[in-house]
Chain A
Amino acid sequence: MSIDIRFRIPQGAFCLDVDLSVPSQGVTSLFGPSGCGKTTLLRAIAGLEHHAEGFLRVGDITWQDENIFVAPHRRSLGYVFQEASLFEHLNVKGNLEYGFRRIPRNLRRVSLDRAIDLLEIGQLLDRSPLTLSGGERQRVSIARALAVSPELLLMDEPLAAVDYDRKQEILPYIESLHRELDIPVIHVSHLPEEVGRLADHLVLLQNGRVTAAGDVHEIFTRLDLPLAHGSDAATIIEAEVSAHDEKYKLTCLSFKGGTITVTRRDIPVGSPVRLRLAARDVSLTLERQSGTSILNIIPAVVESMTEDEHAQLTVRLLAEEVPLLARITRKSADDLGLAPGKPVYAQIKSIALLV
């Protein structure tokens, strides 16, 4: 099952022209700089762009082709707008019920209570949207979209309008949706951090065109794509909690390429976790260092390197097939004699646990 999207949307001098197929499971992020057309594409999927010509099929239902245009209100979708856009003439409960009441009883797979519980907004039901904080508003708007039991959930930069603390408040909810409900999500963002946290599948957009699409781990570490360059290049790794060390208050996380130790987290053994390793926090040595305070040293093999004249370059390593990025100076690369196939040790200075 997949979601097939083909659109041509002229907008003055700019033209969005995409042809892609994304899995109808998990989170797909449309990622690109502002003005690349990602929001327009999301609106076209919802049927909100009037000039969109193209083809759209979700699973086995065609929403649009040359002859068919299913009106937005007949598409089984949830849409979370950038600003929460709650109805100000209704209280929180009225907002949640608005969509819920408009779907036939037999199609209600997500109950109102379930949506309220997932986003933990039970205590807000009688409030007016005008009295809510930005984070609360966005949580209500996500619950409202879920309450229509959508076949597809669309989120347009759901975190853009909130500050850093609110982001940390909302992100866990969005992540949990993904685990708790089997609803495919298409999500728009221009923040690598947000994408690294949420996405399973990544679509890169530039000037209205798709420049790359694929698995998030793959796209983040492809040296021919912009994400692997620059100071915020990072590797996303799926790992599992394998043990806790109570003496030193540490937690061990294992992935295919080795084991990584972080400070003690309250996560049960066996739980999946997602890690983010900033490429600039990974340094390379030819021999396994002893006498170092660095805990995490992973043996790997150089797979490829960027070649340009900048002071820094990105090295793509493989640790048992798991790609890892290291951002080092070109001088160090020359001094170490790095070349594809060369075995090295990756020393990881810090790790962000994403779940």
Chain B
Amino acid sequence: MFNEADLTALAITLKLALISTLVLLLIGTPLAWWLARTRWRFKFIPEAVVALPLVLPPTVLGFYLLLMLGPHGALGGAAVALGGRPLAFTFTGLVIGSVIYSMPFVVQPLQDAFTAIGRRPLEVAATLGASPVDRFFSVAVPLARPGFLTAAVLGFAHTIGEFGVVLMIGGNIPGETRVASIAIYDHVEGLQYAHAHWLSGGLLLLSFLLLVMVYALNRRFRLVKL
């Protein structure tokens, strides 16, 4: 069965995934919109930056993040200057890391969905008196709804599965930064296979159900490629 520490780790994992997904949608939506609409000839550069976490070893990403979030890093230093504590080994630090790490899983489906809409519906909306912001919320967002669903589920699921980055920047503080994937690692290290089974099985089931949901909805709407 789950022990209390494992349940806490699961709760932190879900909280981290939820908050990261919300932050990702807030940041990723305008970014994806811009990437889908811009005619800037160098847009492949930001596209490559967004895609970096797909190929970079999580430890590399985690290493740079650790430096940035620490007391002498740009973000950690700023947090200290504002009267806080350094961000490394904190839950906030984990959210920042997760957001960067899962960015491509949110931005790419959204960008694809916005691109698939094309310019025409937006031009139609313009001729019907809708301002650019109005067009975005009344036409682009509803038409890209399947893309939002895919983005949210993939962002959420990918954050749950995160290990390397968390290990580098979050440490293993029970009740704060100890997430399920790390707890499993600890159990295996300590040869507590029964506990590892429960947590692993739980994550397996959760991830599978999330993906089943995406593919089922995707089949129904037939709008977004995975």
Interface residues, chain A, with chain B CB atoms under 8 Å away: 46-48, 71-75, 77-79, 81, 83, 85, 87-89, 98-99, 102-103, 144-145, 148
Contacts and interface: CB of A to CB of B under 8 A. Distances in A.
Given A87-B139, A88-B143, A89-B142, A98 B123 contact: no
A85 B121 contact: yes
B26 interface: no
Contact of B128 (A48, A71, A89, A98): A98
B131 A81 contact: no
Contacts of A99: 127-129
A102 B129 contact: yes
Contact of B138 (A71, A85, A98): A98
Interface string B118-155: 00110111111111101100110011010000000000
Contact of A102 (B121, B124, B130, B142): B130
A72 B121 contact: no
Nearest to A147: B128
B140 to A, nearest CB: 10
Q: Which 10 interchain pairs have the tightest Cβ spacing? A: A99-B128, A102-B129, A79-B127, A72-B126, A89-B142, A73-B126, A85-B124, A73-B129, A85-B120, A98-B128
Contact of B129 (A81, A88, A148): A148
Interface string B12-47: 000000000000000000000000000000000000
A78 B127 contact: yes
Nearest to A48: B123
A152 to B, nearest CB: 11
Nearest to B128: A99
Nearest to A79: B127
B73 to A, nearest CB: 42
Nearest to B144: A89
Interface of B: 120-121, 123-132, 134-135, 138-139, 142-143, 145
Nearest to B143: A89
Contact of B124 (A74, A77, A79): A79
A73 B121 contact: no
Dominant SS at the A interface?
A: loop
B211 to A, nearest CB: 25
19 contacts: A46-B127, A47-B126, A73-B125, A73-B126, A73-B128, A73-B129, A77-B127, A79-B124, A81-B120, A83-B120, A85-B120, A87-B125, A87-B143, A89-B139, A89-B145, A98-B128, A98-B130, A98-B138, A148-B129
Contacts, number: 61
A161 to B, nearest CB: 13
Contacts of B138: 98
B130 A73 contact: yes
Contacts of A89: 139, 142-143, 145
A70 to B, nearest CB: 12
Contacts of A102: 128-130, 134
A73 B143 contact: no
B127 A145 contact: yes
Nearest to A141: B124
B142 A103 contact: no
Nearest to A89: B142
Nearest to A99: B128
A98 B139 CA distance: 10
A148 B128 contact: yes
Nearest to A74: B129
Contacts of A79: 123-124, 127
A72 B139 contact: no
Contacts of A103: 129
B40 to A, nearest CB: 14
A48 B126 contact: yes
A302 B188 CA distance: 104
A54 B138 CA distance: 31
Contacts of B123: 48, 72, 79, 81
B117 to A, nearest CB: 10
Most interface-central of B129, B132, B134, B143 (chain A CB within 10 A): B129
A73 B124 contact: no
A156 to B, nearest CB: 11
Nearest to B129: A102
Contacts of B145: 89
